[in-house]
Amino acid sequence: MLRKFSIDELNRLSAADFQQSVKRPVCLVLDNVRSLANVGAAFRTADAFAIEKLWLCGITGTPPHKELLKTALGATDTVAWEYAPDTAALLRRLTADGYRCVAVELAEGAEPLHRFRFDSAEKLAFVLGHEVFGVSNEALAVCAAAVEIPQAGTKHSLNVSVAAGIVLWEVVRRVAA
């Protein structure tokens, strides 16, 4: 018979211990994401996969904001984040710091996520864009690669927070395999 675990049985780290723990060398960069619910969900996803940092760029909302905090459920207290006004400038800086910047976008030359090759120790920065317009052309021009999540339906895109979860799961799944 199945039984759900209690919170105590999950043995999760405390917020303080999580902040001190080793993180995956992966960042999420939100490029002009307008929905605070998507931003809050990105915080929770970043916490779940123990990534290094969440970058909030352009018009992307930042904590504290009621709608963002409601979705983040405390992850704004555990996930390292920073605001950068210009996504392309940030990506140039991340590239100089040794990150491979990868747009999550339907773009010429994008490869399906499941075929994307990377080294498990490689520093990666995945860029997710505006809910309608996607990753900005300026940011896309700085990226070293692009990946797309294969889809079989009639829609052309996934929700930003869903796409973040799929990308991070694929990276974590392959590193753990």
Instruction: Output the tens digit of pLDDT for each of the chain's 177 residues.
Output: 999 998 888 888 888 877 887 878 999 999 999 999 999 999 999 999 999 999 999 999 999 988 888 889 888 999 999 999 999 999 999 999 999 999 999 999 999 999 999 988 899 999 999 999 999 999 999 999 999 999 988 888 899 999 999 999 999 988 875
Confidence at residue 177, expressed as pLDDT on a 0 to 100 scale = 59
143 and 101 Cβ atoms separated by less than 8 Å = yes
Q: What is the CATH number of the domain that holds 148?
A: 3.40.1280.10
- DSSP category for residue 133: T
Confidence at residue 142, expressed as pLDDT on a 0 to 100 scale = 97
Q: How many C-alpha atoms does 36 have within 13 Å on its Cβ side?
A: 13
Judge whether 3 lies within some domain: no
Name the residue range of residue 124's domain.
Answer: 22-176
Domain count, the chain: 1
Confidence at residue 45, expressed as pLDDT on a 0 to 100 scale = 96
**CA gap 15, 95 in Å, rounded:** 30
Confidence at residue 19, expressed as pLDDT on a 0 to 100 scale = 81
Is this structure's pTM higher than 0.75? yes
Judge whether 6 lies within some domain: no
Judge whether 167 lies within some domain: yes
Judge whether 126 lies within some domain: yes
Confidence at residue 153, expressed as pLDDT on a 0 to 100 scale = 87
Judge whether 91 lies within some domain: yes
Helix (H) and strand (E) counts for the chain?
6, 7
Judge whether 108 lies within some domain: yes
78 and 49 Cβ atoms separated by less than 8 Å = no
State the helix-helix crossing angle for 160-176 and 36-48, rounded to 10 degrees. Answer: 10
Beta carbons within 8 Å of 83's beta carbon, 6+ residues apart: 55, 56, 57, 60, 62
